[in-house]
Amino acid sequence: MDRSRIFVGSFNFDPRSARLNTEMGIVVESPALANRLSEAFNRDMASVAYEVRLLPQGSLEWVEHEVHCTSEPGAGLLRRLWIGFLSILPIEWLL
């Protein structure tokens, strides 16, 4: 973010990881390395990641190289059914 330091570790950006704090990592203070890493992300990320957009009606859309999908790419019917089932359980605190 600040192009002066990087964090290398296993932290997942979800409430469970933040609360349990079982991840490990190191902070490297190196503006040169942080700048190179930031430039690499800016250059390469668009070619290997989906852009997720919130549509006006409230649904999500995944975009990759001008291909628009209304369901998560790579998630087959069984996985979507399983996620739908899990979404009705009162386990949000685990997610």
pLDDT in tens, 60-90: 998 887 777 777 777 888 888 888 888 788 8
In the chain, helix, strand, coil percent, each to 5? 40, 25, 35
Residue 24 scores a pLDDT above 70:
yes
**CB proximity list for 53: less than 8 A, separation 6 or greater:** 60, 61, 62, 63
The SS3 assignment for 81 reads: helix
Q: What is the DSSP letter of 90?
A: S
- Which pLDDT value is given to residue 36? 92
CA-based radius of gyration for the chain = 18
Give mean pLDDT, residues 37-50: 84
> pTM, whole model, 2 decimals?
0.46
Only one residue has tokens 């704090």, namely 21
Residue 15 scores a pLDDT above 80:
no
Higher pLDDT: 15 or 43? It is: 43
Higher pLDDT: 93 or 38? It is: 38
